[in-house]
Amino acid sequence: MKAHTKETQATMTPEKSLKFLKEGNLRFQQNLKANRNLLEQVNDTSEGQFPFATILSCIDSRVSAELVFDQGLGDIFSVRIAGNFVNEDILGSMEFACKLAGTKLIVVLGHTSCGAVKGACDDAKLGNLTNMLAKIKPAVDAITEPTDASLRNSKNSEFVDSVAQKNVLLTIDRIRKESEVLQEMEKNGDIMIVGAMYDINTGEVTFNE
């Protein structure tokens, strides 16, 4: 499988880009990797890159976007931060990726058993981590069940995963609200912005559509 070129990127639509990622994740689950020569792709992309998707995911070592979607060099822009939230710098990176570099799809990828989400659920305090986790707290507060405080912590895996899913949705809301560039591109049909959850137990990515 060759690296994307300007010509192949131009043939990609938001819908086709999403289909590519779904097919890649299915290959990943089945341990059937696409046949690609990474060293050849190094050479092919040495003078330019033409990715078709931008993926915001967690830094979790088990959730590498390139691996779980079976993509090669030059296929995706990968933005990683604990808890997969956005700030001004990440929004700027996404604007570059879509408006200037031509990607057709933004995926906000959360995952089950997320350590950052667990920290936010437990209201953890540690150096700069304290302020970082505060950005995930709105998702914690948005999940109203269970009401019993003793069940609203990292020991309750169902609660943690509900918060992680909500965090994905709130992040998408922030992208649309805080980036006029991306909001306009989505409105015009130039890009799609979708959420997804990766299951660390099965390798499956479930998209919100």
**Residues annotated in the binding site for Zn(2+), as ranges?**
58, 60, 111, 114
Helices (H), 59-200: 65-68, 88-95, 115-121, 129-134, 137-142, 157-178, 180-187
Closest C-alpha among 72, 98, 118 to residue 175: 98
Binding-site residue ranges: 58, 60, 111, 114
Give the C-alpha separation, 151 to 157, whole Å: 10
* ω into 146 cis (within 30 of 0): yes
DSSP per-residue letters across 12-65: --HHHHHHHHHHHHHHHHTT------HHHHHHHTTT----SEEEEE---TT--H
In Å, the largest CA–CA distance within the chain is: 57
Asked if residues 80 and 59 have their Cβ atoms less than 8 Å apart, the reply is yes
